[in-house]
Amino acid sequence: MPKRGYHHGNLKTALLDAALRLIEEKGPTGFTLSQAAKEAGVTPAAVYRHYQGREDLIAEAALQGYDIFADLMEHAYQSGQPSALAAFEATGRAYLAFARKFPGHYIAMFESGISINRTPELAQAANRANGVLERAASDLSQHIPEDKRPPASMFSAHIWAMSHGVVELFARNSPGRASPFPPEDLLESGIGVYLRGLGLISPDE
């Protein structure tokens, strides 16, 4: 592979792009920092001026991913307004769309073992993304009688877990697992069952 040119101003960008390619191809533990340097067309010495180890580079990829993810979730939430139901359903679909469009970032965020508390910046970005889904859940839960209303954080956690499960099992080409239904349909029907159980949509819808 020919080396990619860079200058001092975009060294970190070149390294991050290289790391994302390697994460997709080899997994988060399938490459070294020196290999990332080679992929980016830079010397290992240049890399170690910015990162102490591979995990630091993966954490940088996760940070960028959470920023992109939070922006997509916010856009989805706003696209459904003023309907609380449409906004909530849109955030679920945005999760699936993100995993498909940004697989390297998704892996760095959710499959690398990197804690969101590794840095304050990473925790803030992750909490921003989660906050959008929780806000959508809170808006929708206002339509449930108060004595039957689950906490918004529980509500959003259920949908996050369902979205994540559909992505992991059926949207990321997991070997040996196949579904006769598209992942989008699985997620939409699953959310529908959940919302019917809460009385938020009619049993006939």
Looking up residue 187, the CATH number of its domain turns out to be 1.10.357.10
CB-based contact 126:116 (threshold 8 Å): yes
Residue 12 lies in a domain: yes
**Is 140 found in the same domain as 82?**
yes
**Is 99 found in the same domain as 23?**
no
**Is 187 found in the same domain as 139?**
yes
**Is 64 found in the same domain as 17?**
no
Residue 203 lies in a domain: no
Alpha helices in 142-204 (DSSP H): 152-166, 183-197
How many CB atoms within 10 Å of residue 197?
A: 9
Residue 72 pLDDT greater than 90, yes or no = yes
**Is 26 found in the same domain as 79?**
no
* Rounded distance between C-alpha atoms, residue 205 and residue 202, angstroms: 5
CA 163 to chain centre: 10
* Rounded distance between C-alpha atoms, residue 72 and residue 135, angstroms: 14
Compute the 3-state secondary structure of the chain and give helix, strand, coil in percent, each to the nearest 5: 70, 0, 30
Neighbouring residues of 114: CB distance < 8 A, sequence distance ≥ 6: 28, 55, 58, 59, 62, 108, 122
**Is 90 found in the same domain as 22?**
no
Neighbouring residues of 45: CB distance < 8 A, sequence distance ≥ 6: none
In which band, very low, low, confident or very high, does the pLDDT at 140 lie, cut at 50, 70 and 90? Answer: confident
Residue predicted with more confidence, 104 or 145? 104
Residue 205 lies in a domain: no
**Is 131 found in the same domain as 118?**
yes
**Is 120 found in the same domain as 76?**
yes
If we measure between CA atoms, which residue out of 132, 135, 2 comes closest to residue 66?
A: 132
Q: Which of 15-24, 76-85, 109-118, 143-152 has the lowest mean pLDDT?
A: 143-152
**Is 113 found in the same domain as 27?**
no
113 DSSP 8-state letter: -
* Rounded distance between C-alpha atoms, residue 138 and residue 29, angstroms: 38
Taking all residues of the chain, what is their mean pLDDT, rounded to a whole number? 85
**Is 187 found in the same domain as 172?**
yes
Residue 204 lies in a domain: no
**Is 28 found in the same domain as 15?**
yes
Q: How far is CA 165 from CA 9, 57, 110, in A?
A: 39, 26, 12
Mean pLDDT value across residues 136-165: 86
**Domain encompassing residue 12:** 1-52
**Is 38 found in the same domain as 80?**
no
Residue 115 lies in a domain: yes
In which band, very low, low, confident or very high, does the pLDDT at 5 lie, cut at 50, 70 and 90? Answer: very low
Number of folded domains that form the chain: 2
Mean pLDDT value across residues 81-93: 88
The domain boundary, picked from 52, 67, 89, lies at 52
